[in-house]
Chains A and B, each alone.
Chain A
Amino acid sequence: MAFPKPRPARAELPRQRVQSLQCGQGAVRAARFNADGNYCLTCGSDKTLKLWNPHKGTALRTYQGHGYEVLDAAGSFDNSQICSGGADKAVALWDVTTGQVVRKYRGHAGKVNCVQFNEESTIIVSGSIDSSVRCWDCRSRRPDPVQVLDEAKDGISSVKLSAHEILTGSVDGRVRRYDLRAGQLCSDYLGSPVTSVCFSKDGQCVLAASLDSTLRLLDKDTGELLGEYTGHRSTTYRLDCVLNELDTHVGCASEDGRVYFWDLLECRRRHKE
């Protein structure tokens, strides 16, 4: 006789600070967890990238090689490699253990705002201020991108990948979803510059933060608005937004130095920190 599975515990919102890291990298442009959440990367404005164990608060390694500030980084699924993009217009692929640059992809005409690995870490997708998204091949030694997605009319602020989709948020106020499986490009107009996009964990929705201090949850297939989250301030800077692990809450950074959380369904502001 099988017991029904216990109901999953209600998602706890992060309420206390566990650890703070003194990066010593100048302004920290981005902080990213690795795939399993055991390590994190910080992108400094002093051209370095640092790998931390955030739970112990120890710096593991410093990656030097960018020519200007590092703006975004991502870790591969097997933690063996790191990709990063910087204001030096280059996308770098690092070897985690040696700390050396394995490849450097040059091709963007402006600073690279965001980088992402695909699921198998065979492709790096980078979005740049030059309004193009470039897909770089990590397997071959090709110096030029596999494909350039230049449909955006303005800079790319955010790029996210799913198994078969590339989601981009652009300053031209559009969220574009390139579906490789269907061979389709869906472009949703949001009206104000998009700063950050992300998929929901169930892959049905798209969350987009824009500079009108609003987060919007859109249905992925139809583009309909499912929820709107306001209350924070986001008018100038590129700030990230997230959905939590269980898709119960929506989080976003605010220009007042806090992180805001909303209940996904009720669109109520739950917490600010």
Chain B
Amino acid sequence: MAAESSDSEEEDLVSYGSALQPLQEGERIKKPVPLQEQTVKDAKGRYQRFHGAFTGGFSAGYFNTVGTKEGWTPSAFVSSRQKRAGKTVLGPEDFMDEEDLSEFGIAPKDITTTDDFASKAKDRIKEKARQIAGVVAPIPGTTAFDDLIGPSKITVGVELLRKMGWKEGQGIGPRVKRKPRRQQPDPTVKIYGCALPPGLSEGSEDEEDEYQPENVTFAPKDVMPVDLTPKENVHGLGYKGLDPSQALFGASGREHLNLFTGGSEETSNLLGDLRHSKGRKLGITGQAFGVGALEEEDDDIYATDTLSKYDTVLKDEEPGDGLYGWTAPKQYKSKKRPEREFKYIGKVLPGFSLASKPSAPIKIYPPPSLPRNYRPVHYFRPVITAGNESCHLQKALEESTGKLESDPTQQGRHALNAAQRREQLGETELKGPAPSVLEYLSEKDRERLKEVKQASEQQMKAKIVSQQSANSRFQVASPEEAAHKWQMLLGGQLANAGSSDFKPFAKNPEKQKRYENFVKSLKQGEKGERLERFFDQNMTEWERGREQEEFFRAAMFYRSSNSTLASRFTRAKYEDDVDKVEVPRDQENDIDDKETAVKMKMFGKLTRDNFEWHPDKLLCKRFNVRDPYPDSSIVGLPKVKRDKYSVFNFLTVPEPTTSVTQATNEKIQESNSLTKPKKSSRWDVSDKEKEKKDSISEFISLARSKADVQQQPPVPAKEECGAGTTETPPTVVADEDKNQEEESGRPPMDLFKAIFVSSSDEKSSSSEEESDEEQQPTTSERQSETTKQVDIADCSSSNLQENVTASTDSGISSLPTSKQELDATEEFGPKLPPAFSSGTTWQQQTEVPATFPGPSRKEKHRKTRERHKTKKERKRKKEKKKKHKKQKNKGKHKNKKAEKDSSSDTTDSSDSLSDMDTTGLSPKELLRRLKQLQY
């Protein structure tokens, strides 16, 4: 209740002015401006002038007043100490400003022409008004003298009207076809005698059938100026006093010639209504005289006024004039014209006639209330087409409805269309869009279209007929025939029939199965007998035939619905990026390597990542720097779209590995730099080699490459037919145990997700490879932890470097291409192939191509077996690790020599190497064995 009342109170509230703007945050409340500092300015910053704004006015001055600081003292004030102030009479001019008295002020002092003297011509209307006033005035005719004295004037409007053809005494407006009678009679013709009462004369006017010239138009009737003479006497309303003419002469008084002859005529016309129509009684009659108490006949005494004419009671009765006391000028009501004038002028269709009465207003009937069980669904009756069979029916129908189709030449009016009717009526065509495309076609095209339509209809008919006949002959027709027919019908569109989810016989699984087989074979284009075998052999022939028919129908149904649906959809142009994410193209690498580098205080290349970074254009502008990438719209790091669950999102791409084999070779570097892409990829090894001093990086990458070699020895052999078979296996590294740890170590969960969510297509590839690949990323991570064997790394790296120098002389030129080839293998896994697959490998291949035929199946089988073998052998190797370590230092020189040999003599080198590498089976060794097996 309280809330309601408050609501209502709010509604009742009236708000004035505009609300203050809410204070902004942090803005201080302004102190109010003191009154004397308040000034009012307009929109343009000028001081607003107040009073008398149009004539100058005054600027808001002291305290927004006209006063001064000293106060307002009247100019007339004189101190009364010495002298009394003279009494001054103040006129309005005393309170006016100078501007007010100037030419455009309210009270100009200069001489100007007044209204009365402004005109040149006589104004008839005013004259008339004067005359009326003269008549009405107590002494009639007095005002007539005024006309003799007063200047007459004519206004500009009148002058204009005159120039437009208006004549005095005429009304204003378009000329009308009207009887001239209404026009004011020619003033030159003087009428003597009794004028007919106005009402009577008007009525007779209509009745008279006078000759009307066709082409004559008349100016509209002049409008009577409004008589707004003020009431100056003390008589009651409507009381006129004694009319001297009537009083003196009675009824005949009308006939007398007035003193002012010209005026009498006019006044009688002007004041027609006011004149008494009754005046039979002789003698002095009039309201002023009253009636004697003894007079019996008193109804005619008051000639003009009777008491019955006055309302004695205040009531709602409508006064006859409909004015309700309104004394404004009477409206000239347009007389009700005869209906003839409403007549429609124009042509009339045959069969139609003009209505004699205007149609009655349309009666609107309320809609019927619907029955309770009414369903608002319309059942469409079958449309009868003009086919052969239904011809009779249609005829019958037409006859029954009476719509007999007739020759277009003898069309009744019901058959007319809108255009024809329009022609007959002589109306102009409506401008609008053409109703149909056919309108735009030429006659020829239309005919052609019609032909095509007919042809297709006939085809359809033929088909239906044949189908019907087939149905009727069904028992007789052989299933082959039927099948053939169906196949014809289905045509090549069976392509996706029964493909997946459409199961018409889901209730009967056996049947469904049969159906699926059937459709499959149908798609392959098999014919009748072969189709037979899908049907149940236990069924009778009839049943089989029936089922076949059924299957055909089902197949066709599926096809049709499928195709109709397909026609309504279109393939998306772009794939949805649901499972794609935006990933920065370059990411900072894993910090493990850097961690170690930091520990080693090897700042520089190892700890640095360089990215392409796009500053904002505005930022460049503000920094006064030229935009480094003026054409790019990227801001920040460039982003790439990747699969949401891509392996590469979770694998941090390893640091560009230093391919040790190229370490010292400057020429190779040069060739590298030629082919080097701008973006550093993991295949890029270019500038790493410059710094010999940061041996840590070499060490790390070397260790990694070795580990890779050991972990996936057969992979390169498989992918590129025995790459680097004779290459020396890199000296076995000391971190074998780490390898073992890796196998037991689990990669993070995301990795699994990435592998198993993204692609299901690659499941066909060997699971062995996958497992290998899974291990790789972890390998690289672990590798970096090896920090202790720096000395060993140094040895091995230098060892390998020498190895390369020996082999480069022939391998330099071919290196870039080998790199490209390596790039091609990138797709197979995230991991870099082992380091040995660089320059020397290529050399081997080019030198002895005959020794490497393509990998056969046999070989593959062998390889898989070998792989298992290596796993076992790895364990063995681990045991021998320590021993090997010792040996490695010793075998440095030997190794060098041996590799020289290998580069010169490829086939024998492996033997010599195998002699040396007695401690463990290297992948190279395995490959060599493979080769032997092959031959």
Per a CB cutoff under 8 Å, which of B607, B615, B616, B618 touches A189? B607
CA distance A135 to B595 in the complex (A): 31
Q: Which of B75-83, B284-292, B628-636, B726-734 contacts A (4 or more CB under 8 A)?
A: B628-636
| CB <8 Å contact, A216 and B629 | no
List 30 interface pairs A-B (beta carbons < 8 Å), by A numbering. A118-B622, A119-B624, A120-B622, A120-B624, A137-B622, A146-B619, A147-B616, A149-B636, A163-B624, A174-B588, A180-B615, A180-B623, A183-B614, A183-B615, A184-B610, A184-B611, A184-B612, A185-B637, A186-B608, A186-B609, A186-B610, A187-B608, A189-B597, A189-B598, A190-B607, A219-B604, A222-B608, A223-B603, A223-B608, A224-B603
Given known A163-B623, A187-B588, contact A216–B613 (CB-CB < 8 A): no
B26 CB–A CB distance under 8 Å: yes
B601 CB–A CB distance under 8 Å: yes
Per a CB cutoff under 8 Å, which of A104, A118, A178, A189 touches B613? A178
Residues of A near B610 (CB, < 8 A) are 184-187
Known A-B contacts: A184-B611, A189-B608, A216-B603. Give 18 more (CB < 8 A).
A119-B623, A119-B624, A123-B622, A139-B622, A150-B636, A163-B623, A180-B628, A182-B628, A183-B612, A184-B610, A185-B637, A187-B608, A188-B603, A189-B588, A189-B591, A189-B607, A191-B595, A223-B603
CA distance A137 to B637 in the complex (A): 21
| CB <8 Å contact, A223 and B605 | yes
Given known A180-B623, A189-B591, contact A225–B612 (CB-CB < 8 A): no
Per a CB cutoff under 8 Å, which of A151, A174, A218, A225 touches B637? A151
CA distance A181 to B629 in the complex (A): 10
| CB <8 Å contact, B605 and A222 | yes
Residues of chain B from 424 to 469 with CB closer than 8 A to chain A in the complex:
none
| CB <8 Å contact, B604 and A224 | yes
- The residue of chain B having its C-beta at the shortest distance from the C-beta of A121 within the complex is B622
Residues of A near B607 (CB, < 8 A) are 188-190, 223
Least Cβ–Cβ distance between A29 and chain B, in angstroms: 22
B566 CB–A CB distance under 8 Å: no
| CB <8 Å contact, B603 and A218 | yes
Least Cβ–Cβ distance between B616 and chain A, in angstroms: 4
B888 CB–A CB distance under 8 Å: no
Least Cβ–Cβ distance between A194 and chain B, in angstroms: 12
A164 CB–B CB distance under 8 Å: yes
Given known A65-B26, A147-B635, A190-B598, contact A181–B604 (CB-CB < 8 A): no
Chain A 128-158, CB within 8 Å of chain B: the 1/0 string? 0000000101010000001111110000000
Residues of A near B628 (CB, < 8 A) are 180-184
A255 CB–B CB distance under 8 Å: no
CA distance A223 to B606 in the complex (A): 9
Residues of A near B624 (CB, < 8 A) are 119-120, 163
B620 CB–A CB distance under 8 Å: yes
CA distance A179 to B385 in the complex (A): 81
Residues of B near A28 (CB, < 8 A) are none
Residues of chain B from 572 to 598 with CB closer than 8 A to chain A in the complex:
588, 591, 594-595, 597-598
Residues of A near B603 (CB, < 8 A) are 188, 216, 218, 223-225
A80 CB–B CB distance under 8 Å: no
Per a CB cutoff under 8 Å, which of A119, A135, A151 touches B616? A135
B625 CB–A CB distance under 8 Å: yes
Per a CB cutoff under 8 Å, which of A150, A180, A189, A225 touches B619? A180
Residues of chain A from 97 to 111 with CB closer than 8 A to chain B in the complex:
101, 104
- The residue of chain A having its C-beta at the shortest distance from the C-beta of B602 within the complex is A225
| CB <8 Å contact, B613 and A122 | no
Residues of B near A101 (CB, < 8 A) are 26
Residues of B near A65 (CB, < 8 A) are 26
A228 CB–B CB distance under 8 Å: yes
Least Cβ–Cβ distance between B630 and chain A, in angstroms: 10
CA distance A135 to B623 in the complex (A): 11
Least Cβ–Cβ distance between B744 and chain A, in angstroms: 29
Least Cβ–Cβ distance between B792 and chain A, in angstroms: 25
CA distance A137 to B279 in the complex (A): 103
CA distance A65 to B27 in the complex (A): 11
Residues of B near A182 (CB, < 8 A) are 628
CA distance A139 to B604 in the complex (A): 38
CA distance A104 to B24 in the complex (A): 13
- The residue of chain A having its C-beta at the shortest distance from the C-beta of B597 within the complex is A189
CA distance A25 to B619 in the complex (A): 35
| CB <8 Å contact, B619 and A228 | no
CA distance A174 to B589 in the complex (A): 12
CA distance A173 to B629 in the complex (A): 29
Residues of B near A149 (CB, < 8 A) are 636
- The residue of chain A having its C-beta at the shortest distance from the C-beta of B607 within the complex is A189
Residues of B near A146 (CB, < 8 A) are 616, 618-619, 622
Residues of B near A150 (CB, < 8 A) are 636
B626 CB–A CB distance under 8 Å: yes
| CB <8 Å contact, B619 and A135 | yes
CA distance A164 to B597 in the complex (A): 29
CA distance A146 to B637 in the complex (A): 15
| CB <8 Å contact, A164 and B611 | no
Chain B 509-533, CB within 8 Å of chain A: the 1/0 string? 0000000000000000000000000
